[in-house]
Amino acid sequence: MARVRDLWFKTVTRTDGVQRREQTGRHGNGKRWLAVWIGPDGKEKTKAFLKKSDAEKYAIKMDADQLTGTYIDPKRGQVKLREYAEEHWVPAMVHLRPNSMETYQSHLKNHVLPAFGDRRIGSLTRPDMKSFVALLTKTLAPSTVETVFAVIRALMHAAVDDGVIPANPCLRVPLPRVGARVVEPLPTATVLALADAITPRYRLAVWFGFGLGLRQGEALGVTEARVEFLKRRVRIEQQAQKGALVELKTKASQRVLPIDDGVLAEITKHMQRYPRGPEGVIIANRIRKIPRRSSFGDCWRAAVSAVGLPEGTRFHDLRHYYASTLIAANLNPKSIQRRLGHATISETFDTYGHLFPDDEDLGRGAIDAKIKKDLAEQKRNKKEA
């Protein structure tokens, strides 16, 4: 049964049986009132308060939480965030793909732990999180702030699920607005210049980017067996990550793409010049291994600089060239969605909607033509009758 104990006074029974209150050694120091309750394990739990009323409310709440099944041992929240993250949260993220795991660990190391690593996880509050967002906003782009905050939000959510804290302090924390990124496809001369500027071993990857719309990992993961030369198509079924072939990010990413003659010619030239890598990977590095993101990124940035493009131009921008070309060729949007490996048509329209024709006169005359056609058919039927 929950109760409250006075830490500043104690009841002493004299030899004659008379009881009286006496000061304890803690009198006048620290918090006076101790909330006391019995936890689910049958052991006594305590927490000190300045006010008696606060101690009474807390002790009653602990009893009530046990009855409703929402009880959290306050002492579990005393663990430091760094300890919980490194010993419990990170090892449990077995569901994440290597690239995602790398991103989580990077944000954890560079932003979350420097801010809260030495704080007790149960002491973190929503105002702490708001201050954290404000601090990040001073140096990071809104989209990066959103990604970093997603890491600590996931961490705190896991702490709630593990019974370490009662609620997630990251909920309902406003984030800076992320402006819509307007895609501006690179010119044809520029994508060809990038193919010429990058190290010859990776020239084909650039062609895969703007000629097939492949993501970087997909481009580096194309194997000889999946290029069907006679049918002039390629099957995208794996991607390269950390020097190995792994499954694609989503089911929608698995697709079959038609290959134009120009891309086929580049594949042929590359295969005649360079040996295949592990598992028949077409694009390999100098030691015949699957290129890693970091080393390929160095070569890509060097090519971007050589061509005179802005710093931060991404390999993904080649994909926009591919998509814009399909749109200009009046391909059905669903076909474009499938070729890009988008999970939904909304993703395609959200990214490239501004590139689709937007002619307010489109369809003008369709109703008149329909009426004229149907009336003519009706008139013809009457004559035949």
Q: What tokens appear for 192 in the block?
A: 């060809």
At 93 the pLDDT is 87
**pLDDT score, position 360:** 54
Q: Per-residue pLDDT averaged across 201-207, rounded?
A: 97
Which domains, ranges and CATH numbers included, belong to the chain?
A: 3-71 (no CATH), 78-161 (1.10.150.130), 188-355 (1.10.443.10)
The closest alpha carbon to 352, from 380, 323, 322, 315, belongs to 323
CA distance 29 to 205: 70
pLDDT (mean) for 347-373: 74
DSSP-H helix ranges across 167-237: 188-197, 203-212, 216-220
Q: Is the pLDDT of residue 150 over 60?
A: yes
Entry pTM: 0.65
Q: What is the pLDDT of residue 196?
A: 97
The structure tokens listed for 278 are 């592990």
Q: What is the pLDDT of residue 225?
A: 96
Mean pLDDT of 233-253: 91
- pLDDT at site 358: 61
User: What pLDDT was estimated at residue 364?
Assistant: 65
Instruction: Return the residue matching tokens 């501006």.
Output: 184
Q: Among the listed ranges 25-29, 53-57, 243-247, 351-355, which one has the minimum average pLDDT value?
A: 351-355
Q: What pLDDT sits at residue 383?
A: 80
Q: What is the pLDDT of residues 47-93, one digit of tens each?
A: 889 999 999 998 888 888 787 777 777 777 789 999 999 999 999 98
Q: In the prediction, which pLDDT does 162 show?
A: 87
The stretch 172-197 carries a mean pLDDT of 88
pLDDT tens digits along 3-44: 899 999 988 887 777 888 888 888 889 999 998 888 877 788
20 contacts: CB under 8 Å, gap ≥ 6: 11, 12, 14
pLDDT at 213 over 70: yes
Residue 188 has pLDDT above 70, yes or no: yes
Mean pLDDT of the chain, nearest integer:
89
Q: How confident is the model at residue 183 (pLDDT cuts 50, 70, 90)?
A: confident
Task: Indicate whether 362 pLDDT > 70.
Answer: no
